[in-house]
Structures are given as structure tokens and as C-alpha cells.
């Protein structure tokens, strides 16, 4: 049967001061009225039933996610410690196989913005049946809309059938010139949407992922804390997909964004006639291409361009939009009494 694994962990830094460890970005309505996690589960409607959706998250978020997503408590998998995506997906896939020995698994993240939910479902509906007959791990490649340097790229190889190809190579976060060359050569963004049979994933992990494979027997003993103590944190891309020869790619026919920082809202939210994004109470006078978010008092801007202005959780952030990707460095520099938000 079909299962879905939703990765919904996070430390709450990308959208500071709106996001916090208790309310990271997947719990925020960044691209619409619902939270990103709620949109992700809704996107699976008609593809995977709710009783077969597993959510991997941290212990501090488990109760809130279960309540907001209306999933069975047993389907919320709380990681004993954060160890990146490979241990999380391996554990969740093992859990799907424990409940259903013939499980086919679709893996996705809880914080994406997807432009066409129906097209997303059609692509996922293609990736899942590709995994079993070709006995491969399947990744979905999104068609690039710009030479993004913050994403990984997939270079497709030989054709397997009308929809799927082998993967010639991966290219992780190239510079702008290399990204343009990759796009010209037909490369796709590595979206992080994956499909596999539980059997194939666990066999490939045993062969290629030495950071995790020795800990697999602990899962067989139902010792999840021991499994997480024993693994070395590593992403599924680096730890498995870039090492395995059994990977295929299908092209995703939908607009996709991983909503990685404040500047991304300009790509996923509607703009006013001057190119501004406004959430909350604000008044903008002769201002262009600004992103404004207020969860309280009104914000007034006049005669400015390309700014991110956020009022949330008792903090005010103002920065050029082009600096949004450097927010982590700013947070590292802030004194704890300003940076840390207990809400």
C-alpha cells in the first residue's frame, strides 16, 4: 500500500522573529491561510489516506502537529534527537514496513510551497509506480525557473521509460554560472520529493550508508532511542542518493519552492501593484518590492525599496531583502536576550 512520510522538524530560525523553536516555519501560514504543514497534508488528499501519513518531527512539536493535522497519535514519530534527513526517513520507512511489509513510500517536506496541487499529485502518482517496476529510488526533479544557487541539481541520464531516467549525477548548490550551465544542459532542481519501496530503500542503506546501516538492527529490536544514539547525522541526498546506482528521476510538472527565507515570500505570495507583499496591518507609501509582516502594531513605510520588515513576538527586524539568506549569521551575532523567544 501507499504511505507518505512528512518531514516536519526544524529549529525555527529561517523566519525569525516570526518563527521560533516552538513555532518553526512549517507551523506558519507562509504561503497562504493555512500552515505549510497543513497544506502539505491536504496536498496528499486522494493520493495517500491520512491513516497512512507518518510525520517525523521533534518532541516539542509532536502534540501541536497531531492536533493541527488531525492524524492518529501513532502516526506522529518524534525523533529522540535531530540527526538530519537520512536517519529520519530510514526510521519512518522502517516503521511503514513494520505496519505494511509491502509499503511504497512517498517522502516530502512540510514547508514547501507548491503552485498546483493537482499537478503535484499527478507527479507523485507517477513517481510511486516508477519505484517498484524499476526497483529504484525515485527523486522528483523540478524544472528550474532561475539559476538558484541554494538548491541542489539533478542531471538526468539514460531513459528508463517514457517518464523516468537514470541519474547521471547530482550537483549540490552550484555557483550562478554553473547553475546556468546545468539548466542549459537540462538539469532539474532536486526538490526533495522521493518515492521508493521500503524494501529497496533499506537494502540500499545497508549497502551505501555506513553512517546509519550498523544501527539498523536496533530498529528491528524496536530500540528507536538506541538507533538515533548510534547513527551519524547525514542527509538522505549525501548519505544515499549520491552513492547509490539505483536512483531514477522523473520531472515534476508543478511550480515548487522550498520557501527558504523571507525573500521567498515574493515568489509564493500575491503582490500589490508596487510589488509589495503585506501580511498584517501596514501602510506603504511610495514604496516598492518590500516584504512586510506584522502580527501586531501597524507598520508604515515611505519611500523605500527592497526591504524586509517584520514585527513579531516583540521583536522588529528590518533588513534589505538581498540579505535574507544571511539571517542565520545575524542570529549568531545577536545577544541571547534579543535572539531567544519563548513562544
Model confidence pLDDT, tens digit, residues 318-343: 999 999 999 999 999 999 999 999 87
Q: What is the pLDDT of residues 64-122, one digit of tens each?
A: 999 999 999 999 999 999 999 999 999 999 999 999 999 999 999 999 999 999 999 99
pLDDT band at 53 (very low <50, low <70, confident <90, very high): very high
pLDDT band at 302 (very low <50, low <70, confident <90, very high): very high
Alpha helices by DSSP H, listed for the chain, are: 36-43, 59-69, 85-99, 117-134, 176-184, 198-208, 216-220, 224-230, 236, 265-268, 327-333, 336-339
> What number is the average pLDDT over the span 6-35?
93
For the chain, what is the mean pLDDT?
Answer: 96
Per-residue pLDDT, 343: 74
pLDDT band at 154 (very low <50, low <70, confident <90, very high): very high
Residue 134 above 90 pLDDT? Answer: yes
In order of 4, 92, 224, 301, the CA distances from 7 in angstroms are: 10, 10, 17, 37
The packing angle between helices 36-43 and 59-69, to 10°, is 60
Per-residue pLDDT, 17: 97
Per-residue pLDDT, 197: 98
Rounded to two decimals, what is the model's pTM? 0.95
> What number is the average pLDDT over the span 274-286?
98
Among 13, 22, 27, which Cα is nearest to 55's? Answer: 27
Per-residue pLDDT, 309: 98
Residue 10 above 90 pLDDT? Answer: no
Between CA 44 and CA 121 the distance in angstroms is 7
Amino acid at each position: 500500500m501507499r504511505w507518505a512520510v512528512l518531514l516536519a522538524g526544524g529549529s525555527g530560525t529561517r523566519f525569525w522573529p516570526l518563527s521560533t523553536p516552538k513555532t518553526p516555519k512549517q507551523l506558519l501560514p507562509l504561503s497562504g491561510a493555512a500552515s505549510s504543514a497543513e497544506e502539505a497534508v491536504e496536498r496528499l488528499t486522494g493520493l495517500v489516506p491520512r491513516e497512512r501519513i507518518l510525520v517525523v518531527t521533534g518532541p516539542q512539536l509532536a502534540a501541536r502537529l497531531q492536533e493541527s493535522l488531525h492524524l492518529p497519535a501513532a502516526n506522529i514519530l518524534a525523533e529522540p534527537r535531530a540527526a538530519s534527513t537520512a536517519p529520519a526517513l530510514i526510521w519512518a520507512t522502517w516503521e511503514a514496513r513494520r505496519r505494511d511489509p509491502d509499503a511504497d513510500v512517498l517522502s516530502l517536506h512540510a514547508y514547501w510551497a507548491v503552485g498546483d496541487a493537482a499537478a503535484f499529485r499527478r507527479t507523485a502518482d507517477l513517481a510511486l509506480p516508477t519505484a517498484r517496476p524499476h526497483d529504484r529510488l525515485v527523486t522528483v526533479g523540478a524544472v528550474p525557473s532561475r539559476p538558484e544557487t541554494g538548491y541542489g541539481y539533478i542531471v538526468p541520464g539514460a531513459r528508463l521509460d517514457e517518464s523516468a531516467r537514470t541519474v547521471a549525477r547530482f550537483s549540490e548548490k552550484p555557483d550562478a554560472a554553473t547553475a546556468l550551465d546545468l539548466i542549459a544542459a537540462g538539469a532539474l532542481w532536486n526538490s526533495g520529493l522521493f518515492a521508493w519501496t521500503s524494501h529497496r530503500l533499506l537494502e540500499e542503506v545497508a549497502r551505501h550508508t555506513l553512517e546509519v546501516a550498523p544501527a539498523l538492527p536496533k530498529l528491528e529490536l524496536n530500540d528507536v532511542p538506541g538507533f538515533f544514539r548510534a547513527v551519524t547525522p547525514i542527509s538522505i541526498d549525501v548519505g544515499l542518493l549520491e552513492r547509490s546506482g539505483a536512483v531514477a528521476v522523473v520531472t515534476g510538472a508543478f511550480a515548487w519552492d522550498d520557501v527558504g527565507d523571507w525573500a521567498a515570500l515574493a515568489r509564493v505570495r500575491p503582490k500589490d501593484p508596487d510589488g509589495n507583499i503585506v501580511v498584517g496591518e501596514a501602510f506603504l507609501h511610495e514604496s516598492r518590492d518590500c516584504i512586510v509582516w506584522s502580527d501586531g502594531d501597524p507598520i508604515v513605510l515611505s519611500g523605500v525599496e527592497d526591504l524586509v520588515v517584520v514585527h513579531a513576538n516583540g521583536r522588529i527586524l528590518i533588513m534589505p531583502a538581498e540579505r535574507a539568506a544571511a539571517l542565520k549569521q545575524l542570529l549568531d551575532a545577536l545577544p541571547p536576550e534579543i535572539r531567544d523567544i519563548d513562544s
